[in-house]
Amino acid sequence: MANGYFGHDNDNADDIRPAFHIGQHDSTRSETLTNTQYGRVLNSGFRFVTTPITNTHFHERIVQLVSDSQQQSGSRVDPIVTPITPGDTTLFPEAYTSGFIGQVLNLEVDYANFCGVRSIIVPGPRQDSTQAGSGRGIAQYARAIQEALLIGTRVNLIIHLPMYREPGLEEKAAPLSISDETPDNLQSSKEIDIFTSWDSWHVIRTVCDYDTRLFVALRIPRVLPSKDLQMRWFSEPLQYLTYCPSTFQTNKGGHPSLGRPHQELIHTYMRLKHAPYFLLCDVGPELQDEPAAEQKIDPESTSQFPTLEDAAAATQPAKTDHKVQGHNAYLAYLRHLERQQEPYTELELNTLTNFQDWLQSPLQPLSDNLESVTYEVFEGDPVKYNQYEIAIEEALKEWSELKKPTSSPDGVVIAVAGSGRGPLVTRALQASETTGVPVKVWAVEKNPNAYVYLLRQNQMVWGGRVTVVKTDMRAWKGPVISPPDAPVAHGKVDILVSELLGSFGDNELSPECLDGIQHVLAPDHGISIPSSYTAHMSPISTPRLFADVKNRREGGDTNAFNTPWVVRLFALDFVAARVPDHGRFQLAWEFEHPLPQATMDTVALRRSGGVVGGGGGSMAGGVGANDHNARQCHLTFVCKSRGVIHGLAGYFEAVLYESQIEEDETGNRPKVELSTLPDMIDQKSKDMVSWFPIFFPLKQPLYFPGDSELEVTMWRQTNDAKVWYEWMVEAFRLVKNMVAVHAQTRYDD
Ligand SMILES: C[S@@+](CC[C@H](N)C(=O)[O-])C[C@H]1O[C@@H](n2cnc3c(N)ncnc32)[C@H](O)[C@@H]1O
């Protein structure tokens, strides 16, 4: 059948794709479904269905109450709503599907909570706070949701909101009172501000203090907004994507379908680890032939609650009902899209999806001794090691071409500083074999357990070609070059290979360790792989991570907001625009190795206490021997759309080796590099997963208006005993001749 989405697909059955959970909602439904009706909906292919908590009887009762109260002129006291009666609802504890609620939230939430309901979809506000005259309404709405979360202690509240307010398409509901009506002149603006609906959500969740039981059901419009709004919603806790028939277009075969932008949006959103469910609204099946449950229970019998048996009997299906449910074209189309989803790659299946937005404390390989299994995880990513091997190969080739001297008569002396279980040692030996340049390899490691492993590797794999040394690299005197029976003499190293990099480059103290071993490097021709590394950052909106960090702090981790977390950032919105001179990702600072001799001489002088007055010693009270590794940056990010940030995403790049011979037509020398920057990783080290980004959280989310500048100041602070980061973000907006300022300051120790 052409374009009917029934066909078999030829995909590989082993491919695993994101699964679509598709439910059904009927906006005209006023009663809980009977078992038969429920079965019918499930039989037509839906996985779940919504039910109202209360019925029209309840709604009419409330409207009447409001109207009576308004007629009592001068009355400023709210009418008292009597409790829900059996006539007000067809939801009983044995029915437990999710549902829409209307007015009088607390009563309904409380009752639903009693019935065992776990998810309640609450219609969102019909106007947004940024629309004139609506601010108070949103505040009240948010306050009501906050209270409902307290009352419904086990339910998730899911606020149904449009992605943006499509002009003329907003639902028109009968207002409860005259004061709820909006004057026409407030609705007639021709300008479309697409962020107003998100603004309302932001107010609601802020009032609810980022409660982790608060979610969004996002109504998808027929015309999608710009990508920045799509990504803003992507970063929010999405529970449902709701689609009405009006969202779909009709294809040539007369069947509902979605255009390319919609397909791309679904593709993006469905890569989330906790992907949203689909809710198809008002697409059938028709269930009118089944008598409504309400008709079987006398709405006036408010004094007598039916027994569970009576209620169950009243909702039994009619025995004569044999109507077969038809094919649902909307559902079939979504199933078709499900089959079109890209299968997960090996990398996504095994690593990336599991780690999405999962906060990890950064490793401290200098102060802690890593376990074998941690090394095994490192070794699972070949990309990093391939890049190192290429860098060593290039260095050896050029060593030979430039006829550089070697520190040993046996060949180029390579020391792998911080060898772990030895993967870089293996790569160094391979590079020597590939290039034919002889090498003498030393493996230096301070972890006593990894040292045992290295000794075994040397016996079993490297054929005794490596000298293994157990020491802190900063205390190593260099390769022993004297014969066993002569007084000990130390030689130099030609190529110092290390991998001490953290997610922000320098955060695992690579600069401090490499400074400490630099004295073994051959002074004139010795090189370091890596030769330099840089830290980069971008301000981000990550409401879920903010809630996670907040919960950790409330759970007793008092340093949760002072910790830079390692995390595979995924559900995030990069709020900064890409504009000339102010990129989305900006360079914070750089480290280079080896350091110039003059710097090393100053460090030595300070350490020996030889610098007195004028420049010696740090403000922190030490001798200042590590002051040269302090850094500071002040960066300006431009934000076109308004939003909120929850922290800074940190990345790094490293130059492993830069050619000393070749130059391209623009005078640049070819480099072997690593990068974790989202816009560079594919070019420099595709598929590398050894490092996830780092997240520097803010203690309070920082809201900024449209056309703002975010100014980020960060420090790498150091005294003689430790290294730490401090960070601060300010938002500026130019208002005629005035400057509006918000500020945040955070630090880590
Ligand atoms: C990130 S791991 C890398 C290990 C290995 N090169 C790899 O790629 O699998 C860093 C290693 O450096 C070692 N290390 C860190 N600081 C050191 C120091 N000051 N002296 C010696 N080893 C050190 C750690 O014990 C750890 O084995």
What domains appear along the chain, each with residue ranges and CATH number?
22-169+190-342 (3.20.20.150), 530-749 (2.70.160.11)
Task: Find the helix or strand (DSSP H, E) in which 308 lies.
Answer: helix 308-314
Q: What is the 60 CA–ligand 1 centroid distance (Å)? A: 71
Which mutation among 473, 508, 533, 674 tests ligand 1's pocket best, with the greatest number of atoms within 8 A of CB? 473
pLDDT at 181: 40
pLDDT at 582: 92
User: At 222, is the secondary structure helix, strand, or coil?
Assistant: coil
- Residue 428 Cβ inside 6 Å of ligand 1? The answer reads no
1-18 per-position pLDDT tens digit: 344 444 344 456 578 999
687-718 per-position pLDDT tens digit: 999 999 999 999 999 999 999 999 999 999 99
Cα 415 from chain centre: 38
Distance, CA of 115 to CA of 132 (rounded, Å): 39
Residue 641: what residue type?
Answer: S
Which mutation among 369, 385, 386, 499 tests ligand 1's pocket best, with the greatest number of atoms within 8 A of CB? 499
State which ligand 1 atom lies nearest to the alpha carbon of 384: 8
- Residue 378 Cβ inside 6 Å of ligand 1? The answer reads yes
pLDDT at 676: 98
Active-site positions read 499, 508
- Nearest CA owner, ligand 1 atom 25: 447
Distance, CA of 91 to CA of 294 (rounded, Å): 10
State which ligand 1 atom lies nearest to the alpha carbon of 472: 20
Summarize the annotated binding site for S-adenosyl-L-methionine as residue ranges.
Answer: 375, 384-385, 445, 472-473
State which ligand 1 atom lies nearest to the alpha carbon of 378: 9
Task: Find the helix or strand (DSSP H, E) in which 108 lies.
Answer: helix 105-115
pLDDT at 188: 47
Of the candidates 272, 163, 172, 279, the one whose C-alpha atom is nearest the C-alpha of residue 222 is 163
Task: Count the Cβ atoms, other than its own, within 10 Å of residue 610.
Answer: 11
Beta-bridge partner residues of 311: none
Q: What is the 466 CA–ligand 1 centroid distance (Å)? A: 17
pLDDT at 9: 45
Distances (CA, A) of 366 to 331, 363, 447, 624: 55, 9, 9, 21
- Residue 445 Cβ inside 6 Å of ligand 1? The answer reads yes
Cβ neighbours of residue 569 closer than 8 Å, sequence gap 6 or more:
357, 540, 542, 545, 649, 692, 693, 695
Judge contact between 341 and 267, C-beta under 8 A.
Answer: yes
- Nearest CA owner, ligand 1 atom 4: 420
Q: What is the 236 CA–ligand 1 centroid distance (Å)? A: 38
Of the candidates 31, 84, 90, the one whose C-alpha atom is nearest the C-alpha of residue 61 is 84
The rounded radius of gyration (Å) of the Cα atoms in the chain is 33
pLDDT at 739: 52
- Residue 647 Cβ inside 6 Å of ligand 1? The answer reads no
Buried b (16+ CB within 10 A) or exposed e, 290-313: bbbbbebbebeeeeeebeeeebee
Q: What is the 498 CA–ligand 1 centroid distance (Å)? A: 8
Cβ neighbours of residue 259 closer than 8 Å, sequence gap 6 or more:
249
DSSP notation for 332-401: HHHHHHHHHSPPPPHHIIIIIHHHBT--BPPP-TTTSPPPHHHHHHHHT-HHHHHHHHHHHHHHHHHHHH
Distance, CA of 507 to CA of 494 (rounded, Å): 26
- Residue 691 Cβ inside 6 Å of ligand 1? The answer reads no
Q: What is the 534 CA–ligand 1 centroid distance (Å)? A: 19
- Residue 419 Cβ inside 6 Å of ligand 1? The answer reads yes
- Residue 418 Cβ inside 6 Å of ligand 1? The answer reads yes
The token pair that represents 193 in the structure block: 């501000």
Of the candidates 694, 702, 580, the one whose C-alpha atom is nearest the C-alpha of residue 636 is 580
Which mutation among 364, 376, 447 tests ligand 1's pocket best, with the greatest number of atoms within 8 A of CB? 447
pLDDT under 70 in the chain at which residues? 1-13, 66, 69-104, 129-136, 168-191, 287-327, 610-621, 736-749
- Nearest CA owner, ligand 1 atom 23: 418
- Residue 513 Cβ inside 6 Å of ligand 1? The answer reads yes
